[in-house]
Chains A and B, each alone.
Chain A
Amino acid sequence: MFKRSEQDKRPSVQIFVDGVAVAARQGDTVSAALLASSCDARRSTAVSGAPRLPYCMMGVCFDCLVTIDGVGNRQGCLVPVAEGMQIEIQKGKREIGR
């Protein structure tokens, strides 16, 4: 859906999406890194289980909700990637205790 411009010379950052290593770039948000990757990053909604991807990328729509380092319902578009970060695509509502 998206590709990186060749002029982007930022260093690579390795994150893990459902356990699979993904190359992001320093300064990417989690959502941008997911959309730039080849992963199926579709979460499913808490109400009907419908698949969704980020809609606004600016912190207002909450369709980018994702589990980051074990914490559920994080807004992926507001969190920068960090080396070794563990991302889980959230299916349904946030689980109790995470």
Chain B
Amino acid sequence: MTVAPKREDYDVVVIGAGPAGLAAAATSAEAGLSTLLLDENIGPGGQVFRAISSTPVTDRNQLGADYWVGADLVQTLRASNAEVIHRATVWSLDRNLEIAVSIGGASAFVKAKRVILATGALERPFPIPGWTLPGVMTAGAAQTMLKSSALVPDGRTVIAGQGPLLWLLAAQILRLGGRIDRILDTTERGNYFAALPHAFAFLTSPYFAKGLSMMREVKAKVQVVSGVIELSASGDGQLASVSYVAGGKRETIPADLLLLHQGVVPNVNLAMAAGIEHRWDDLQLCWSPVLDASGTSSVAGIAIAGDGAGIGGANAAVVRGRIAARAAVEALAPAAATRLAPMATLRADLAKAERGRVFLDTLFRPAPQFRIPAGDTIVCRCEEVTAKDILDAVAIGATGPNQLKAYRRTGMGPCQGRLCGLTVTELMAQARGKSPQEIGYYRLRAPVKPITLAELAAVPKSEDDIKAVVRG
């Protein structure tokens, strides 16, 4: 489906085909608005419903009922009139709601009356010594391969970190016949007490029973070490061993694969580049956009739905997608909104889907030593900048992430800060005795994904464009 958009103008353009984007595009199209859904992946589903239309995992129990919910969302979308383009990388979105998208090596431009960003989340950086070694990956990476290609670990495998995804992945690997040698749980002991006041909401949410049974399933088959307070990977050009400290004891175990996970954070690059205001979230320890109850951002006409609006999980993402789309319909075609679920119903659905979230956020708040590294540990994977390099730059005057670029090129490699941004903010905040909010984040600009100069040069130019840069 690598064809350019059929039109130049749409009522609604949705970016990202995960739970929020699928729901938003279907809702908008159902109300009769011209709707375009752009997505970077090969097929619909985003990360949580990855490969939902093509997975070779045919035994439905192995991926679990929560995964297959995605199939219904895709079906609803396909039954609508929404135009869907996959392998479409949006590289620019501006305040005029003009979108530049790269499809099959060529860029197209579309204009929207409303944009719904559903670019979701990515895994929080896990900067431990050795995390750039081949053989160290994220848990999400392993889950992506499991869902889309039925691939499972078969060497000596260690999973380390914390959070619901870690247990889900472990259960899925075991169900598909994969190998896990040990799970290293980095949840801080103190978090259990901190989370206690929020336990009631969690106990009465659907996550509780599911989570408990999954942990039991995994613990029956794999050795789980809890209270891990130190973690590192080592090897010569390839992961060879994992070292950890738990219960006052250091242990080193041989490993071919280390899967890391300490929660997910909003993927902010496109939203920030569009100029949308974000604030530091002290509970979720990440940047979250400033939004109203319908997901509307600080830039007129742009709403954010799904985990990009602040981590809420897949169920919340679906409802947030519907809310943002309904708000767009109310603005553009109020009469058509009567066909959709009432806003009050959607808000009640959202409250239900978000139940228990504060408990999870508090319990799985990653420990400082796994967020803020020291010494020779690499912070910026692309430019290979260490924690010590950054602290040295602070010592000679670097004040924030943007100045740091001039000192050390952090965030200037191909990943554009996605894998180092949070670490740099927190590291500099700690070093300078400031809050992350005061330190700020990289100033992000288009193109938010790298495109070739040839592609940029091939973009159609007007007389005015040429006049603006040609002398004489």
The interface of chain A, by Cβ under 8 A from chain B, is 1-10, 25, 27-29, 32, 35-36, 42, 45, 47-48, 50-63, 65, 73, 77-78, 80
* Given A57-B140, A60-B267, A29-B381 contact (CB < 8 Å): no
Q: Which residue of A lies closest to B418 (CB)?
A: A60
Number of A-B contacts (CB under 8 A): 134
Check: B414 CB closer than 8 A to any chain A CB: yes
Interface-located stretch among B51-59, B325-333, B351-359 = B51-59
Contact between A55 and B152 (Cβ–Cβ < 8 Å)?
A: no
Contact between A27 and B151 (Cβ–Cβ < 8 Å)?
A: no
Q: Which of B56, B136, B154, B419 contacts A60 (CB 8 A)?
A: B419
Q: Which residue of B lies closest to A62 (CB)?
A: B414
Q: Convert B124-157 into 0s and 1s, putting 1 for each residue whose CB lies closer than 8 angstroms to a CB of A.
A: 0000000010111110111011001111111100
Contact between A73 and B450 (Cβ–Cβ < 8 Å)?
A: yes
**Most chain B CB within a 10 A radius of its CB, from A35, A56, A58, A73:** A58
Check: B176 CB closer than 8 A to any chain A CB: yes
**Most chain B CB within a 10 A radius of its CB, from A2, A50, A57:** A2
Contact between A48 and B384 (Cβ–Cβ < 8 Å)?
A: yes
**New contact pairs (8) apart from A58-B144, A78-B87, CB-CB < 8 Å:** A3-B154, A32-B149, A52-B132, A53-B134, A55-B136, A57-B138, A57-B140, A61-B381
The interface of chain B, by Cβ under 8 A from chain A, is 40-42, 47, 51, 54, 56-59, 87, 122-123, 132, 134-138, 140-142, 144-145, 148-155, 176-178, 237-238, 256-257, 267, 381-384, 413-415, 418-419, 450
Q: Which residue of A lies closest to B176 (CB)?
A: A5
Contact between B149 and A8 (Cβ–Cβ < 8 Å)?
A: yes
Q: Which residues of B contact A56 (CB under 8 A)?
A: 122-123, 137-138, 140-141, 419
11 A-B pairs whose Cβ atoms sit less than 8 Å apart in the complex: A1-B256, A2-B153, A5-B57, A7-B59, A27-B42, A36-B151, A47-B383, A56-B122, A58-B47, A58-B144, A62-B382
Contact between A60 and B415 (Cβ–Cβ < 8 Å)?
A: yes
Query: In the assembled complex, how far is the CB of residue A10 from the closest CB belonging to chain B, in whole angstroms?
Result: 5
Contact between A58 and B151 (Cβ–Cβ < 8 Å)?
A: no
Complex Cα–Cα for A53 and B138 (A): 12
Contact between B419 and A8 (Cβ–Cβ < 8 Å)?
A: no
Q: Chain A: interface secondary structure?
A: loop
Complex Cα–Cα for A29 and B54 (A): 12
Contact between A53 and B137 (Cβ–Cβ < 8 Å)?
A: yes
Contact between B56 and A10 (Cβ–Cβ < 8 Å)?
A: yes
Q: Which residues of B contact A52 (CB under 8 A)?
A: 132, 134
Query: In the assembled complex, how far is the CB of residue A94 from the closest CB belonging to chain B, in whole angstroms?
Result: 10
Complex Cα–Cα for A6 and B41 (A): 25
Contact between B382 and A1 (Cβ–Cβ < 8 Å)?
A: no
Q: Which residue of B lies closest to A24 (CB)?
A: B149
Complex Cα–Cα for A28 and B135 (A): 19
Contact between A57 and B145 (Cβ–Cβ < 8 Å)?
A: yes
Contact between A29 and B148 (Cβ–Cβ < 8 Å)?
A: yes
Q: Which residue of B lies closest to A51 (CB)?
A: B237
Q: Which residue of A lies closest to B156 (CB)?
A: A1
Complex Cα–Cα for A8 and B74 (A): 22
Contact between A1 and B418 (Cβ–Cβ < 8 Å)?
A: no
Query: In the assembled complex, how far is the CB of residue A52 from the closest CB belonging to chain B, in whole angstroms?
Result: 6
* Given A60-B415, A65-B414, A8-B56 contact (CB < 8 Å): yes
Contact between A57 and B144 (Cβ–Cβ < 8 Å)?
A: yes
Complex Cα–Cα for A6 and B144 (A): 17
Q: Which residues of A contact B140 (CB under 8 A)?
A: 56-58
* Given A57-B141, A57-B145, A60-B122, A51-B134 contact (CB < 8 Å): yes
* Given A9-B56, A62-B415, A78-B87, A2-B154 contact (CB < 8 Å): yes
* Given A58-B141, A61-B381, A73-B414, A5-B134 contact (CB < 8 Å): no
Q: Which residue of B lies closest to A44 (CB)?
A: B237
Q: Which residues of A contact B148 (CB under 8 A)?
A: 27-29, 32
Q: Which of B47, B238, B256 contacts A51 (CB 8 A)?
A: B238
Complex Cα–Cα for A12 and B356 (A): 44
Complex Cα–Cα for A59 and B140 (A): 12
